[in-house]
């Protein structure tokens, strides 16, 4: 056991050395952004683009489950292809094509220069994390499919992905969501949600939505918010989509 931990630590060091790590958000910028949000809280509306948060949480949840199933999965390669090749890729496509360009444009409208610059730096850190996460995902899918990545190396990379995803979730919850609620009217946010669904695809969105529900179910507040935000008809079909679509591609392979 000691030898295994030491080996994983060495592999982890090598992965970090070769790939580098995203910078952390400077504390000064976090303070400036947080102060700006709090000082304008009276003018803030509600955040309506919850799918971005839930999609990130679904990837985080699924990677954790894959880590726990590395030695016991009935089809580990299929699991990895679903979580990273489908779910994470879908998240990143929406972020790169729609969300981050849209967010950058909205943040540029902040009149206070210090706050605007700090928000831009924070967005840069978020983009670094996304890029690093995508790179780890490519390493996993490309090498594992060619049988060049053993279980130990796979676990190291997946654990790194979990660490990065947790930081992304923190930035989402503490800064991005409140900023969007402050800067963007709810009607415009709802309209943007429609664009995201179109980008994800109506059919694939069934799988994404089940994954989001499973992730939200881990927290009572998130689950309540999910039930409030998601229309009743998709919620009605969730058990069916889970049984026929999601479980066959993910749950049953754990």
CB contact burial 87-125 (16+ within 10 A = b; e otherwise): bbbbbbebbeebbbebbeebbeebeeeebbebbebbbeb
- pLDDT value, residue 9: 46
Note whether residue 107 is domain-resident: yes
- pLDDT value, residue 13: 46
Note whether residue 97 is domain-resident: yes
> Residue 53 is part of which domain span?
25-32+48-200
Note whether residue 166 is domain-resident: yes
Note whether residue 16 is domain-resident: no
Please give the distance of CA 131 from its chain centroid, rounded to a whole number.
12
- pLDDT value, residue 6: 44
Crossing angle of helices 50-68 and 151-171, in 10° steps, is 160
Note whether residue 150 is domain-resident: yes
- Specify whether the CB–CB gap between 69 and 79 falls below 8 A: yes
Note whether residue 82 is domain-resident: yes
For the chain, the domain total comes to 1
The label of the residue with tokens 């935000």 reads 229
Note whether residue 4 is domain-resident: no
Note whether residue 42 is domain-resident: no
pTM (2 decimals)? 0.90
Residues 6+ apart with CB under 8 A from 60: 162, 165, 166, 169, 215
What's the CATH code of the domain at 181? 1.20.120.520
95, 91, 19: which is closest to 62 by C-alpha?
91
- pLDDT value, residue 210: 98
- pLDDT value, residue 146: 59
Return averaged pLDDT per consecutive 10 residues of the chain, 254 residues in all.
Answer: 46 52 84 94 88 98 97 94 97 96 94 95 95 94 78 92 97 96 94 93 95 97 96 97 97 95
DSSP character string of 70-85: TTT-S-HHHHHIIIII
């Amino acid at each position: 056991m000691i030898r295994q931990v030491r080996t994983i630590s060495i592999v982890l060091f090598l992965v970090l050395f070769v790939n580098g790590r995203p910078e952390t958000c400077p504390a000064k910028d976090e303070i400036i952004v947080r102060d700006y949000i709090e000082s304008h809280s009276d003018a803030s509306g509600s955040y309506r683009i919850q799918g971005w948060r839930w999609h990130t949480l679904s990837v985080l949840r699924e990677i954790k489950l894959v880590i726990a199933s590395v030695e016991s999965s009935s089809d580990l390669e299929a699991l990895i292809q679903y979580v990273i090749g489908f779910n994470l890729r879908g998240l990143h496509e929406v972020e790169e094509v729609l969300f981050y360009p849209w967010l950058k444009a909205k943040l540029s409208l902040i009149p206070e220069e210090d706050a605007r610059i700090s928000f831009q730096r924070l967005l840069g850190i978020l983009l670094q994390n996304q890029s690093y996460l995508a790179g780890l995902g490519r390493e996993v899918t490309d090498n594992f499919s060619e049988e060049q990545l053993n279980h130990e190396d796979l676990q190291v990379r997946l654990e790194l992905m979990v660490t990065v995803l947790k930081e992304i979730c923190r930035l989402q919850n503490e800064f991005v969501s409140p900023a969007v609620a402050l800067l963007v009217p709810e009607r415009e946010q709802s309209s943007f949600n429609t664009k995201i669904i179109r980008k994800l695809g109506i059919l694939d969105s069934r799988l994404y939505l089940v994954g989001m529900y499973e992730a939200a179910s881990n927290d009572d507040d998130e689950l309540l918010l999910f039930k409030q935000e998601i229309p009743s008809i998709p919620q009605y079909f969730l058990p069916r989509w889970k049984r026929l679509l999601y479980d066959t591609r993910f749950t049953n392979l754990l």
